[in-house]
Amino acid sequence: MGDRRVAGVVAAAGGQGGFRRPGTDLPAIESAWADALRVNLFTVVLPVEGLLPQVLDTEGRIVLIGSTAGLDGGGGPYSTAKAAVAGYGRDLAIRAGRRGITVNTLAPGFVADTDFFDAAGLGDSSTMIDAAAARTLVGRVGQPEDITASVRWLLSSEAGWVTGQTIAVDGGTVMLR
């Protein structure tokens, strides 16, 4: 990369790896956990670590995308991998903070109009959306714009004193559990 400098990094990689519980067969359990970590943790860690030397001092911003599943569990290896994203974010904030770089993790809740739930085989039916909306304080599910607005703020100079945080963007769902 040479002399190129990076002002902000958003690591939003991840997917359904390890979402379904594998049963009791130890090789299948090991495979599910390895898949969950590869798909949901390493796809965040490796690009960020690769770009970290190029991130600008004193205004660099790094935003990691986790999940509310990493805050409250219930998703087996997937939840654990997303919790590890938040842990990585805190560790990275400690390492990068002395350079003036902020690092934060967003933990989105149920966001409509994505392929996430279809990919898990859970569907995106109106019944599922209604149930997810009922579990929020604001009475609605998230929209992609809710997440992008939070990312934009964390990348801005206005968020320059916010670092090492995991911020649930979920309409208050985790608070109700």
Confidence (pLDDT) at 28: 86
* Residue 88 known to be catalytic: no
- Residue 15, judged by CB atoms within 10 A of its CB (0-12, 13-18, 19+), counts as middle
CATH architecture of 8-176: 3-Layer(aba) Sandwich (3.40)
Confidence (pLDDT) at 177: 66
Which among 19, 33, 78, 117 is annotated as catalytic? 78
Is 61 in contact with 100 (CB distance < 8 Å)? no
Residue 156 gets which letter from DSSP? S
From first to last of its 177 residues, what are the pLDDT tens digits of the chain?
457 889 999 999 777 665 566 677 899 889 889 999 999 999 999 999 999 999 998 889 999 999 999 998 888 899 999 999 999 999 999 999 999 999 999 999 999 887 665 555 555 577 888 988 999 999 999 999 999 999 999 999 999 999 999 999 999 998 876
Confidence (pLDDT) at 172: 94
Domain regions of the chain by residue span: 8-176
Confidence (pLDDT) at 4: 81
Is 18 in contact with 40 (CB distance < 8 Å)? yes
Confidence (pLDDT) at 50: 96
Report in angstroms the alpha-carbon separations of 129 from 25, 49, 66, 125, 139: 33, 36, 20, 6, 11
